Every structure is written in structure tokens, then in C-alpha cells.
A and B are shown apart, each in its own frame.
Chain A
Amino acid sequence: MATKVKKMLFILSKATLDNVYAAFIMANGARMEGIEAEIFFTFFGLEAIQKKKLEHLHVATVGNPAMHIPTLLGGLPGMEAIATKMMKNEMEKLDMPPVGEFLEILSDSGVNLWACKLAVEMFHLKEEDLIDELDGILTIGDFYNRVEEDGTHMLFI
């Protein structure tokens, strides 16, 4: 391989749709280029791998200037749902898979998916709450130790 990046490690700490998709698209994009990829889900990022929650992630309409919705309006009931629906429609047009299907694709593509032990305990989650594709529950130390070669990069999202 002529590429210099050999492995990408992603830490996903947020559950807003835009952050989750950023991690997923970059991890998938790495595999498509022959680069290894792993994702460590921690804190709110765990929402993206909880069976009951992963299809109900939202974009943030408050505190997000790029949405161009005044903060007061963004806080109204239903605003997040509307904005999320609009964004999901646009993504479907680009043939972007929904979160659950995307996780299947990532797993099938050889992306290792890990849950953060500390955060799992903090949110009182059980293994059965998490997706079947999960490769395991790790400490951050375990995750660092998955770096075995030069050309590995880590990204916090």
C-alpha cells in the first residue's frame, strides 16, 4: 500500500446526528481506501449503539449557529424533530444509510466497534442494550493499546 495512514481510531463522544455520521463516514471511507478503522463509543456517543435509541438520534437546533434557527425558536417543542426529519430526507437522497444499517455496513467492512467501559457503567447499560455488532467493552487504556503500528491516527469527535 502506498498510503501513509494505516489505521484510524475514532472516539465518538456525542450523539447528535451530524457527529455520528461524521464518524461513520470517515470510518467507512478509511476502509474503502484500504485503511483500518475502529470506533470507541463513549459518553453520549453510546446512544448511537443502543438498540432502542440509535434510530432516534437528532440534530441539535439549539446552540448550533450553523442551523440558522434563532435559539428561542430552536427550543420550541418539535423543532429538533422537524430539523432531523429534513436532514434525514436529504441524506436518503444521497443514499446515506440510516444509523442501524450503517453500523451493519461498518461491522461487515471490518471496522471494530467498542463501547467505553466507564460510560457503560455510568449510564447503567447492559450488554443486551447494545447492538449485536459490538466487538466488546473496553477501557480507554485497552483502546490505546490497539495501536500496534506507525501510521495510526486518533480522532476525537
Chain B
Amino acid sequence: MEKTIGNKTIDVNDQGYLTDFSQWDKEVATELAKEKGIDLTDKHWEVIEYLQNKHKNEEALSIRGIKKSGVINIKEFYNLFPGGPLKVSTLIAGIPKPKSCI
């Protein structure tokens, strides 16, 4: 389905995740984050970049991976993206919701 965000139109699935990554840019991310009540800081961007790189390399995302990432620790991750950090951060990063249970 289509969604208008800021002055752009993006394609998202029924859970609000972007279906075409080429539509993603920093403005889209900022607006998606706002909808979740998050103001993106430098640390947020660092995490988003990490997630996008993992996705590009087809590496699965998990909370254990975050622990080993060297980018952020788990406590900070929960603080930065409240309400389910991997779920929320991947939505803002414009990549699919991780399917892993861990």
C-alpha cells in the first residue's frame, strides 16, 4: 500500500515496513521515527547504518548480533528504540522486519 510521509510517497506492507528500499532516504527515516515518537540522534544513525549494512550483506539480524556488533550495547539499543528495538529500528532503516525468534 502507499503511504504519504512528509512530501514523499512510499510503498509499505501492512505492518508499515518499506517494500522498496530505493525509496528510503534520511528524510523518510526521520519521519518514520517521528511516528514512533523518536528523534533521531547521531547514535541512531550509526545503528541504522549498521542494520542496513547487515541487510545488504544478507546477514540475519538478532539481539545477540547487536551485543557483538561493537556499535551499540543491548541496554542502549532498548533505550534508543523503545517498544521492541529490532522491530522499530528496522522499520526506520527501511529494511524488512527480522524473522528470527532470538
Tell whether B64 is near chain A: CB-to-CB under 8 Å: yes
B84 and A108 contacting across the interface, CB-CB below 8 Å: no
A32 and B75 contacting across the interface, CB-CB below 8 Å: no
A104–B73 Cα distance when bound, in Å, is 11
Q: Distance (Å) between the CB of A1 and the closest chain B CB?
A: 6
Tell whether B38 is near chain A: CB-to-CB under 8 Å: no
Tell whether B40 is near chain A: CB-to-CB under 8 Å: no
Q: Distance (Å) between the CB of B83 and the closest chain A CB?
A: 4
Tell whether A110 is near chain B: CB-to-CB under 8 Å: yes
A108 and B102 contacting across the interface, CB-CB below 8 Å: no
Task: Give the A-B contact count at a CB cut-off of 8 A.
Answer: 48
Tell whether B87 is near chain A: CB-to-CB under 8 Å: yes
Q: Which of A1, A28, A34, A94 contacts B63 (CB 8 A)?
A: A28
Contact of A32 with B63 at beta-carbon distance under 8 Å, contacts A25-B101, A25-B102, A108-B75 already known:
yes
Tell whether A105 is near chain B: CB-to-CB under 8 Å: yes
Tell whether B74 is near chain A: CB-to-CB under 8 Å: yes
A49–B80 Cα distance when bound, in Å, is 29
Tell me the chain A residues, 92-137 only, with Cβ under 8 Å from chain B.
Answer: 94-97, 101, 104-105, 108-110
Tell whether A75 is near chain B: CB-to-CB under 8 Å: no
A34 and B82 contacting across the interface, CB-CB below 8 Å: yes
A109 and B78 contacting across the interface, CB-CB below 8 Å: yes
Q: Distance (Å) between the CB of B13 and the closest chain A CB?
A: 16
B87 and A95 contacting across the interface, CB-CB below 8 Å: no
A81–B87 Cα distance when bound, in Å, is 37
B60 and A105 contacting across the interface, CB-CB below 8 Å: no
B67 and A105 contacting across the interface, CB-CB below 8 Å: yes
Tell me the chain A residues, 1-32 only, with Cβ under 8 Å from chain B.
Answer: 1, 25, 28-29, 31-32
B101 and A29 contacting across the interface, CB-CB below 8 Å: yes
Tell whether B85 is near chain A: CB-to-CB under 8 Å: yes
Tell whether A90 is near chain B: CB-to-CB under 8 Å: no
**Which 10 A-B pairs give the minimum distances between C-beta atoms?**
A108-B74, A34-B83, A34-B84, A108-B75, A33-B84, A97-B64, A32-B84, A29-B101, A109-B74, A95-B62
Give 16 pairs: A residue, B residue, CB < 8 Å, sorted on A: A1-B83, A25-B102, A29-B101, A31-B84, A32-B84, A32-B85, A33-B87, A34-B82, A95-B65, A95-B102, A97-B64, A101-B67, A108-B78, A109-B63, A109-B78, A110-B78
